[in-house]
Amino acid sequence: MSNRIRQGFEDMAPDIFQQIKASPYEIIQSEEELFSELIPKKAPKTKMKKKFIYSAASFVVAAAMVLCLIPGGIGHVDAAVGEIYLDADASIILEVDENNQIIGIKAGNKDAEDIVDKMMKDTDFPASISDVVDAAITGLKEKGHDTKDILVSYCYDEKKVEAVEEAVAVSADDCTIQSFQKNEEAAKEAQRNHISMALSHFEKSAGSDVIHTAEKESTTDTAKTSTNTNTNVNATTSATPYVSSSTETKKKVKRHWRTNESDTKETSTVAEEKTEEENINKGNVLADKIKERQQKYSGSEAIVTSRPTQE
Amino acid sequence: MADTNKLTNLLLRIADGDDAAFEDLYYETYQSVYAYLMSLTKDPDDAQDLMQDTYIKIRGACHLYKDQGMPMAWILKIAKNLFLMKIRKEGNKDNAISELKILDKTSFDNVKDVDTRMYLNQLFTQITEEERDIIILHVVGGLKNREIAEALGIPIGTVLSKYNRAIKKLQEIAGKEDVI
């Protein structure tokens, strides 16, 4: 495709060098002259009478007070109805509002602070989910994380929004993806373990004994997990992760986890063909990885919140 | 796609009055400049006029070039400035008029290959203006992400995310036949 686009413009571009050569030219004196349209011009100073300033200020204060009293006014803009977690070693949390827009970005741990700082500078809130998820993945990749090692989770309050889940699936299709409903118990457990709620959920549902594969889940509308037993534990789970009511979304949501040791990519279809033994090994590696993160972040500072300031 | 050091060297030589260097610079860069101006104007004639103006400006402004390793971004910045001047002079022409221009497929008559013509058509109709600029600067201009960010005046993170999204869209449209 790139070759065709390049070739297309090569065919289109006219050779007008002789015309240019014959044209007279003037010496440009300054950058301001050269980039006159791109360099922002200083706004001319305007003299405002004091009286006008006072009345304008009074009006603004009065209007702000009225807006605070109106439902849906400026006192109510902060309503996040869902969160998107991006977990590698660094943890990023994106807040989604009822219009399916990102309204806030949080660093879940110290590793993510610089990524979040940069994202805050580059993002105009409210922002589209795809843009922000892309930027977060880019930030994590710049930190050396492989996309396949990033766990992207959509956590919803009461009602799952298909559009959000689909936006996540499209923007992060190379990552491991899950969705789950927020609950207080899970939040407390995550806090206790010093990991994000998404990782906590992943651990709880996938755990050391159970590996979820997308293919198996995507064939049913109910919560199912493939259960594999290791030598000591018979593991079944009643957790309801990865459940999507939309078949189309489910198809898009590929979940795979690349282990540190084998560096192999587990896609949903391949995973189905894996032997029980391999699944047990993989589960153990995943459990080790989560434990490693728990140890790394135990005692780490509380979540750092970065949100656009409300004016 | 021109080499950065070579372009820098050519700009410095033009500043010293070297006409041969100006010719070399033109042939190294005119396809990228034209592609970028096509993306901005969506009109072959406007793109050609602005390309001429761009090189005339470059000739008279080479002494102002400060080597920051991004000569192509500097050239394209001049092109964009001229485009904005034109827009302002013409009284902020409605975008809709420009869109109509591009829907007239005769714009790509010079392109011999039918598939290539189709790809260009998709490039101009299926993705956003900014995404198109980024693709063109990357694919045709051979600019690096930071150079694209500089040329377009947007953060590098935005360049990366929009580039990825645009590629995905184009690949979906092209039926994932091949990869950029």
- Window 129-148 of B: residues touching A by CB (8 A cutoff) are 135-136, 139-140
Looking at residue A16, what is its pLDDT? 92
Q: Which of A2, A30, A118 sits opposite B139 (nearest CB)?
A: A2
Distance CA A203, CA A196 (A): 11
Nearest CA in chain B to A7: B116
Q: What percent of chain A has pLDDT over 70?
A: 54
Q: Is A222 on the interface with B (CB under 8 A)?
A: no
Q: Is B15 on the interface with A (CB under 8 A)?
A: no
The ipTM estimated for the assembled molecules is 0.77
Q: Which of B63, B112, B155 sits opposite A11 (nearest CB)?
A: B112
pLDDT over 50 (residue B11): yes
Contact between A140 and A130 (Cβ < 8 Å): no
Q: Which of B63, B123, B155 sits opposite A5 (nearest CB)?
A: B123
Question: Which of A77-91, A156-170, A207-221, A262-276 has the lowest average pLDDT?
Answer: A207-221
The pLDDT confidence band at residue A251, using thresholds 50, 70 and 90, is very low
Looking at residue A247, what is its pLDDT? 39
pLDDT over 70 (residue B6): yes
Pairs of CB atoms within 8 A across A/B: 140
Question: How far apart are the CA of A69 and the nearest CA of chain B, in angstroms?
Answer: 37
The pLDDT confidence band at residue B176, using thresholds 50, 70 and 90, is low
Looking at residue A238, what is its pLDDT? 33
Q: Between residues A236 and A105, which one has the greater pLDDT?
A: A105
Average pLDDT on B160-170 reads 83
Nearest CA in chain A to B32: A9
Orientation angle between helical segments B114-125 and B95-103, nearest 10 degrees: 160
Q: Is A36 on the interface with B (CB under 8 A)?
A: yes
pLDDT over 90 (residue B27): yes
Average pLDDT on A162-171 reads 77
Judged by CB atoms closer than 8 Å, whether chains meet at B180 and A134 is answered as no
pLDDT over 90 (residue B55): yes
Looking at residue B24, what is its pLDDT? 94
Q: What percent of chain A has pLDDT over 90?
A: 2
pLDDT digits over A33-88, tens only?
Answer: 888 877 766 555 555 556 666 777 777 777 767 665 555 545 444 577 888 988 87
Average pLDDT on B86-110 reads 60
Judged by CB atoms closer than 8 Å, whether chains meet at A12 and B119 is answered as no
Tell me which long-range contacts B107-112 makes (C-beta under 8 A, separation of at least 24).
B107/B42, B107/B43, B107/B44, B108/A8, B108/A12, B110/A11, B110/A12, B110/B44, B111/A7, B111/A8, B111/A11, B111/A12, B112/A11
Q: Is B75 on the interface with A (CB under 8 A)?
A: no
Looking at residue A293, what is its pLDDT? 61
Distance CA B53, CA B45 (A): 13
Average pLDDT on A93-98 reads 88
Q: Which of A25, A36, A170 sits opposite B56 (nearest CB)?
A: A25
Average pLDDT on B71-85 reads 90
Question: Which of B36-40, B73-77, B107-111 has the lowest average pLDDT?
Answer: B107-111
Question: How far apart are the CA of B179 and the nearest CA of chain A, in angstroms?
Answer: 6
Nearest CA in chain A to B153: A38
Greatest CA separation found in chain B?
A: 50
Encoded amino acid at A36, one letter: S
Mean pLDDT of chain B: 81
The pLDDT confidence band at residue A240, using thresholds 50, 70 and 90, is very low
pLDDT digits over A113-166, tens only?
Answer: 888 888 888 888 888 888 888 888 888 888 877 777 788 888 887 777 777 877
Average pLDDT on B63-75 reads 86
Distance CA A43, CA A53 (A): 18
Q: Between residues A237 and A102, which one has the greater pLDDT?
A: A102
H/E segment holding residue A156: strand A151-156
